[in-house]
Chain A
Amino acid sequence: DIVMTQSPDSLAVSLGERATINCKSSQSVLYSSNNKNYLAWYQQKPGQPPKLLIYWASTRESGVPDRFSGSGSGTDFTLTISSLQAEDVAVYYCQQYYSTPEITFGPGTKVDIK
């Protein structure tokens, strides 16, 4: 199994400031034949299902604000919220789909307002 880890477990950021979440996979999720990273990011607010934000490590899902961006390759990835808004308070999960269909999620990072 590909094990996903995230850091930090939680962070508090002032409104308008940058939030950075890291995700690491136990093996590369970069598929050499198409040069794509099989990595997605989700946002989950309390009492709601997860919402897809980013796939292919850096492709923003339709309708997702451009303050959300994903970067990284191989085993190390980052989700950045460039200017934190109140509505961004949530838990963020990374997920690898390199080993489709046996996908795995990271443990989550909680983002709060400082």
Chain B
Amino acid sequence: QVQLVQSGAEVKKPGASVKVSCKASGYTFTSYDINWVRQATGQGLEWMGWMNPNSGNTGYAQKFQGRVTMTRNTSISTAYMELSSLRSEDTAVYYCARVASSGYYYFDYWGQGTLVTVSS
């Protein structure tokens, strides 16, 4: 069965960086784009960007340009999202999500979420 398993919770200081992993199993990792979505406590869903695991091509929401980097390691079917220059407003649960159908960005499988807390 398809699974996306994310790394554990992180606590970071303002100005630091965080790298969250998303390990895929149950399907061919390189066949489906991975997106990252975050959710602050009690708030809605915010799209951050996408990555094609086959080519490594990426695209980021304007809001995160210059601060976010999405990468992958195809040998271990894992996608990564690194966010730098962290501030308190980045405290949120970060989700990876698999695109359900090539070219159509709705998401059929989601990771369990990784809580990132930014606090001095």
Contacts and interface: CB of A to CB of B under 8 A. Distances in A.
B89 interface: no
Contacts of A51: 110
A93 interface: yes
A97 B104 contact: yes
Contact of B106 (A40, A102, A108): A40
A61 B106 CA distance: 11
Nearest to B104: A97
Contact of B103 (A100, A103, A104, A107): A100
Contact of B110 (A49, A95, A101): A49
Interface in B103-120: 103-108, 110-113
A60 B109 CA distance: 15
Interface string A10-28: 0000000000000000000
Interface stretch (B24-32, B42-50, B80-88): B42-50
A77 interface: no
Contact of A101 (B45, B50, B112): B50
Contact of A61 (B33, B108, B111): B108
A49 B105 contact: no
A93 B44 contact: yes
Contacts of A93: 44-45
A109 to B, nearest CB: 10
B8 interface: no
A55 B45 contact: no
A58 B51 CA distance: 27
Interface in B26-75: 33, 35, 37, 44-47, 50, 59, 61
Contacts of B50: 101
17 contacts: A38-B104, A40-B107, A42-B107, A49-B110, A50-B45, A50-B95, A50-B107, A51-B110, A52-B100, A52-B108, A93-B44, A95-B45, A101-B33, A103-B35, A105-B37, A105-B44, A105-B45
